[in-house]
Amino acid sequence: MKEEVLRAREVAIREALKEIRDGMVIGYGSGTTVAQMTGILRGLICERGLNVVFIPSSLQSADLILSHGLKLASLAEYPEPDLMLDSFDQVDAEGNVIKGGGGALLREKVLMQASKRVVLVGDNLKLKERMDFPVPIEILQYAYPHVKRVLSSWGLRMEPRVSGGKMGPIITDNGNILADVYAGILEDPEKLDHLLKRVAGILETGICIKAADLILIGYPDGSVKRMEINRRRYAREKSLP
């Protein structure tokens, strides 16, 4: 990975970690940026003597938490975390993001919705006027042929996510199939999100419509762009649509 990208991510990470307070319960995302974050996070916690616990979004993030000597917790113990820290694959000018490159999109979106505050970090290469990153989706295994047929009839190419060391598709921590939908430039990401989730068997998409409170974009020169978002908190709505 290029040094410029790592440097850009680090400045965004350090800005995000200013959000942490003693006694917090923190939802923790997955992926390469989160892996980079963990070592910096451990140093901060040790330096400031903070007592915080982390709810992982995946086996990867659970392993990161434990391997760095941090405290593990669960959503069953703390159904409303104080803070969610995570990254993303791409963000548009309106603060919508695509997540799921690390394969944990469903659990990450649960933690995002459950948390009191959500802060996402990324490097400047992930900021686009309009997103065009392939949209990750999590599919019930039983429904895979149906989902593939429907998306194909809409003119959308869907490919199961595969790894170099395993035959066949990647299976998520929830036992489902992970796939990517190639939809080109997302002129209306919210419409696509609703459309995909109408297909029986698509459990979740990686499209997150204004789901964060703050998005931090780091640049190689050490500057950070702060995107304050009017977060949509679906779980907080007090009346039915």
CATH number at residue 142: 3.30.70.260
Q: Are 117 and 27 part of one and the same domain?
A: yes
Q: Say if residues 84 and 208 touch (Cβ distance below 8 Å).
A: no
| Residue 240 located in a structural domain | no
Q: Say if residues 212 and 231 touch (Cβ distance below 8 Å).
A: yes
pLDDT at 165 over 70: no
Q: How confident is the model at residue 62 (pLDDT cuts 50, 70, 90)?
A: very high
Residue of higher predicted confidence among 1 and 241: 1
Q: Are 90 and 175 part of one and the same domain?
A: no
pLDDT at 56 over 90: yes
Q: Are 111 and 214 part of one and the same domain?
A: yes
Average pLDDT over residues 225-241: 74
| Residue 234 located in a structural domain | no
Q: Are 118 and 148 part of one and the same domain?
A: no
pLDDT at 163: 77
pLDDT at 169: 83
DSSP state of 99: -
Q: How confident is the model at residue 59 (pLDDT cuts 50, 70, 90)?
A: very high
pLDDT at 181 over 50: yes
Q: Tell me: the pLDDT tens digits for 127-144?
A: 999 999 999 999 999 999
Q: Are 77 and 181 part of one and the same domain?
A: no
Q: Are 146 and 219 part of one and the same domain?
A: no
Residue 220 tokens, joined? 């190689």
Structural domain boundaries, residue 82 = 3-127+208-227
| Residue 50 located in a structural domain | yes
pLDDT at 233: 77
Q: Are 30 and 58 part of one and the same domain?
A: yes
pLDDT at 240 over 60: no
- Indicate the number of domains in the chain: 2
Q: Are 100 and 151 part of one and the same domain?
A: no
Q: Are 115 and 154 part of one and the same domain?
A: no
| Residue 215 located in a structural domain | yes
SS3 182: strand
Q: Are 80 and 8 part of one and the same domain?
A: yes
Q: Are 217 and 104 part of one and the same domain?
A: yes
Catalytic center residues: 108
Average pLDDT over residues 113-138: 97
| Residue 66 located in a structural domain | yes
Q: Return the percentage of the chain with pLDDT > 70, whole number.
A: 95
pLDDT at 166: 62
| Residue 236 located in a structural domain | no
Q: The domain spanning residue 67 has which CATH number?
A: 3.40.50.1360
| Residue 237 located in a structural domain | no
Length, in residues, of the chain: 241
pLDDT at 168: 72
pLDDT at 167: 64
| Residue 233 located in a structural domain | no
Average pLDDT over residues 122-126: 97
Q: Are 104 and 217 part of one and the same domain?
A: yes
pLDDT at 234: 67
Which DSSP string corresponds to 118-179? EEEEEEGGGB-SS--S-EEEEE-GGGHHHHHHHHHHTT-EEEE-EETTEEEEPBPTTS-EEE
